[in-house]
Amino acid sequence: MSQYLIEGGQKLRGEVTLQGAKNSVLPILAATLLNKGDTLLRRCPRLRDVDASMRILRHLGCTAEWKGEELEIRTGEISRAEITDELMREMRSSAIFLGAMLARCGEAKISYPGGCELGPRPIDLHLAGLRAMGAEIREEGGTLYCRAPRLRGADIVLALPSVGATENLMLAACGAEGVTKISNAAREPEIRDLQEFLVACGARVRGAGTSTVIVEGGEPLHGCTYTVMPDRIVAATYLSAVATAGGEAFLSGAREEHLLAVTAALRAAGCHIRGDERGISIRAEEPLRAVNMIRTAPYPGFPTDAQALVMAVLLRAEGVTVFEENIFENRYRHANEMMRMGAEIRIFGRVAVVTGVSALHGAAVQATDLRGGAALCVAGLAAEGQTQVTDSHHIDRGYEDLTRDLRALGAQIRYCPAD
Ligand code: EPZ
């Protein structure tokens, strides 16, 4: 089983350049289906989820190839409109292909995307919005049979600001006749990045980043060359690493405006953080202070993806921090593993109470999900002795090269592939 070995106790110092954003490039890869040209993606991260998306695109009849550091997608030919169960299971967010397939092919057959480590991952808001645009969707034996010979623009109000539903409906709306208005849309920066990609392909989309996104569908789209935004959660990971281990670093390419809730929490804990157009610099001395309360919420609230990462920082802070996880049902699985390292955490449903301890000790711990696994590596940087983080394949879904980046900051970490 592959694992990371981390020797804790080193202060960090250095500079790292941020990879492209996983949660931006995945919907962008689906969006390439909307045009019949060639797309070149720059700063596309080399991730397991990107590999899975490339396999789906190839299965549909497209080509997806790395050309040096750029990813070339050619979508002139589509030979099928169904994604196999095996391909759907490889990546939880493969439901994002549904809207684009309906817009391009007028039909789609996909299996219900499974839940994941974070709990059930329903797509009822995606399906309700697609039905409002005229799609006929039938669920039989875990497979969704979808037909949309003519998608038409609709006024859609999302019951909650779902990132995936907003993105799926934006893509379907590009292929619909007329105007689609998505109200209570998610406002994450990745939604704005998707809008900028679509506009670069000739689409008429506006409002991303606000609660109302408007798409004037029916425009013929073309390929483009596009640079993916930097990954703000990877930035949060490295900020947390320096915060907990102590030291100073510069994150080149990071945009503080995408992470204000996270940098506010780290500043409250006692970190010195400065953001400018080039990136984010952070300096952290011992000891950190607990942060009264951290509540996860849709953007621009505190991002659920950074919950485990900032929890790792506060395990040794002086005082008590109360976390409230309001987005996913089961997103504290990393807590038990942190307790094996000496952390004091009490879980009450959606609430986790973290009481700072003076020291953590290295231990053999298991990555439970993508960000929980990264958080265990962060905690290991501040623990005395060696921490082994097994099941590291979870981490590889979202981090292009965690070892390369943390070593650039002076961490003692190495990756041991499965034997
Ligand atoms: C995206 O997931 C991200 N994934 C997640 O990142 C992120 O945690 C999440 O947004 C929230 O910011 C990608 O972008 C690939 P949602 P998504 O739809 O789109 C409920 C990571 O670590 N819901 O905003 O699935 C849902 O159950 C991953 O990189 C419905 O009830 O998130 C959840 O409780 C983890 N019905 C809440 O909404 C629906 O139809 C937010 O989900 C859709 C969602």
Give the number of the atom of ligand 1 that is nearest the alpha carbon of residue 371.
Answer: 22
**116 belongs to the catalytic site:** yes
The type of residue at 240 is S
Q: What predicted TM-score, i.e. pTM, was given to this entire model?
A: 0.97
User: What's the rounded Cα separation, in Å, for the pair 101 and 33?
Assistant: 7
Ligand 1: which of 25, 160, 332 to mutate, judged by most atoms within 8 Å of the beta carbon?
A: 160
Q: What is the pLDDT of residue 113?
A: 80
Q: Report residue 287 as tokens.
A: 């000891």
Check pocket membership of 313 for ligand 1, CB cut-off 6 A.
no
* Shortest-distance Cα residue to atom 25 of ligand 1: 164
Q: What is the pLDDT of residue 114?
A: 66
User: What's the rounded Cα separation, in Å, for the pair 331 and 184?
Assistant: 24
User: What's the rounded Cα separation, in Å, for the pair 238 and 220?
Assistant: 41
Check pocket membership of 394 for ligand 1, CB cut-off 6 A.
no
Q: Is the dihedral of CA 116, 118, 124, 129 positive or negative?
A: negative
Check pocket membership of 308 for ligand 1, CB cut-off 6 A.
no
Residue 125 CA to chain centroid, in angstroms?
19
Q: Which residues contact 46 (CB under 8 A, 6 or more apart)?
A: 66, 400
Residue 94: how many CA atoms within 13 Å on its side-chain side?
33
* Shortest-distance Cα residue to atom 21 of ligand 1: 305
Ligand 1: which of 163, 232, 328 to mutate, judged by most atoms within 8 Å of the beta carbon?
A: 163
Q: What is the pLDDT of residue 115?
A: 63
CA–centroid distance, residue 94 to ligand 1 (Å): 12
Give the number of the atom of ligand 1 that is nearest the alpha carbon of residue 23.
Answer: 14
Residue 32 CA to chain centroid, in angstroms?
19
Check pocket membership of 164 for ligand 1, CB cut-off 6 A.
yes
* Shortest-distance Cα residue to atom 26 of ligand 1: 121
CA–centroid distance, residue 67 to ligand 1 (Å): 31
| Residues 241 and 215 sit within 8 Å (Cβ to Cβ) | no
Tell me the longest C-alpha to C-alpha distance in the chain: 63
- The three-point CA angle 79-85-88 to 5° equals 85
Please list the ranges in the chain whose pLDDT falls under 70: 114-115
| Residues 280 and 273 sit within 8 Å (Cβ to Cβ) | yes
* Shortest-distance Cα residue to atom 14 of ligand 1: 23
For 133, 151, 166, 294, 389, the CA distances from 341, given in Å and listed in that order, are 51, 53, 39, 22, 11
CA–centroid distance, residue 164 to ligand 1 (Å): 6
Check pocket membership of 350 for ligand 1, CB cut-off 6 A.
no
The type of residue at 188 is E
Residue 136: how many CA atoms within 13 Å on its side-chain side?
6
Q: What is the pLDDT of residue 406?
A: 98
Check pocket membership of 124 for ligand 1, CB cut-off 6 A.
yes
Check pocket membership of 94 for ligand 1, CB cut-off 6 A.
no
Looking up tokens 């995936």 gives 164
Query: How many residues would you count in the chain?
Result: 419
For 18, 168, 258, 350, 374, the CA distances from 261, given in Å and listed in that order, are 19, 26, 9, 19, 19
Q: Report residue 278 as tokens.
A: 């080039």
| Residues 391 and 367 sit within 8 Å (Cβ to Cβ) | yes
Ligand 1: which of 116, 162, 258 to mutate, judged by most atoms within 8 Å of the beta carbon?
A: 162
For the stretch 104-129, what's the b/e string if a residue is b when 16 or more beta carbons lie within 10 angstroms of its beta carbon? Answer: bbbbbbbbbbeeebbeebebebbbbb
- The Cβ of residue 324 has, within 10 Å, a number of other Cβ atoms equal to 16
User: What's the rounded Cα separation, in Å, for the pair 84 and 109?
Assistant: 8
Q: What is the pLDDT of residue 336?
A: 97
Give the number of the atom of ligand 1 that is nearest the alpha carbon of residue 233.
Answer: 29
**Which phi and psi (to 5°) does residue 326 adopt?**
-105, 0
Q: Is the dihedral of CA 166, 201, 190, 147 positive or negative?
A: positive
Annotated catalytic residue within 44, 62, 105, 116: 116
Q: What is the pLDDT of residue 378?
A: 98
